[in-house]
Structure 1
Amino acid sequence: MAFRDRGIEIKTPAQIELMRVAGRLVGETLELLRSAVRPGVTTLELDTLAETHIRDHGGIPSFKGYSQPPFPATICASVNDEVVHGIPGARVLTDGDVISIDCGAIVEGWHGDAALTVPVGEVADDVRRLLEVTEESLWRGMAAARLGGRVTDISHAIEAHVRSQGRYGILEDYTGHGIGTEMHMSPNVPNYGRRGRGPTIVEGLALAVEPMVTLGSKHTDLLEDEWTVATVDGSVAAHFEHTFTVTPQGAWVLTAIDGGAARLASLGVPFGGR
């Protein structure tokens, strides 16, 4: 492992393999939670399910106790106009809600971090479309990454896709990030901007890419719990995230169960994992 460009952590291939173990655990946990989302479930029940699964499979929840004030849960559970960092509790999910579930796990000192937004029962067409656009922008962003390229190549691809699909708000105050021996590291990965800027994408760089998109304004408020971020206009939000890297063979999505092979192939991008 080496450090370069203002503290950016560069991993060896063996260390990336360890990150894949943590990433796969996160991906499997999120799929378990996706299947558990339904009307009548509380966000705390989802959190308990996530913590049990992570610990039973040799991991440690990344989020629990993180930062100040210490985050009190294993997942972030953000409902409807809550974009990110919602705290699980007694809230009962109802038909027509959407819930963003953000999850992180540590295995042998290495982090994985990913998120998805799940419809609860039947949701409005514009909300379902928001989820589709946001998730696709994540994959377009990762597909734009090449060794020798720049971090904002990812940013530009995310923004270009979202803008091409309609009038949506793209959060600017919250970004993706580097990841490895810590959950949040340099560099930041914005969800908008011109290509060709920022640090160079090199072998061993791992990034968590996470577009956050709304049906209305890009502006947000931090709620009284000092964690939950919500849209100022009450518009519904979506949030998707994956941890990925680029190898000489192509992209490798460390938090996707199949490593991203199928989705990357649909975008014409070589798969760089195993």
Structure 2
Amino acid sequence: MNLLREYIREILTENKLSGRTIDGMLNLLGEYADNTWIFFDTETTGMHPDSAQLTEIGAIAVDPNTWESDATVLGQFNEKIKFTDKTRRLMSDPESEERKEWEKKNLASNRPLKDPQAVLAMTRYGEKGRSYGDEQEVLDQFFEFVDGFSNPLLVAQNAAFDLKFLNVRSGGKLKRYPVLDTRQLMQYYLVPLLKTQIKAEKGDLAAQELLDKLYIRKGNWGYHSVSMGVVSKAYGISIDDWHNALADVKMMMEMYKKVVQTIRMGMGIDISKEQGRVLARQKKRTKR
């Protein structure tokens, strides 16, 4: 697992967004103008690929047209995945070794879930009228889908999670592709930009309004969320089908366009102070 973690880290580091100016980051995105952008999302039975499986993969491949107009859709992938024997035991037998392993991993997670069935309800698993494929076959089909386009760029929200599942559950078949993490885009640029704008001499009411919509209160403290659901809702994008893979992909595409539009309006603004605070908090958490 340490080798996998290092592999995923290397992929994301190669395409790392942090530490750049807004103009520098936009220039980086511009370098992908000739790539086929493949927005994708996975749904799973848990947080750890050694004790959980994939239940759905959704993706849309587009020609971005430099994002000056609507992207041209080149292809779509959406497959549901049937349970493995291990997952069936996990779901049906509370005393099984599979359930005990799932619960152990779940309790150690930053976002523990009530039980495995809660995941299925959240991701709408079990839709009628849908075919469910073998996990390995669906993974192979997805990799074929990606390789069917020239210069694929994988785009995902919290990409490390999805990449980890794709690689582990496929037995290491995931190739090395350039990756864009929309979560990093919002974490390192959107939120720091909004905070910088509201602290300017005259302030920015529009920035304050958007930042307020991203704020999540937890008891006596709170934080500005870069969750896809929270950010999409802040921009007025429907989140009714959140946690359905293909619906999440469509939501991500619309969210990406809105976020980049906001960031483009901040060209020339120095966000290094607020960006530095984000990086410092991350470094502090890593040392724990």
TM-score (norm 1): 0.29
TM-score (norm 2): 0.28
Report which of the two has the higher share of helix. 2
Report which of the two has the higher share of strand. 1
Higher normalized contact order (CA 8 Å, seq sep 6+, divided by chain length): 2
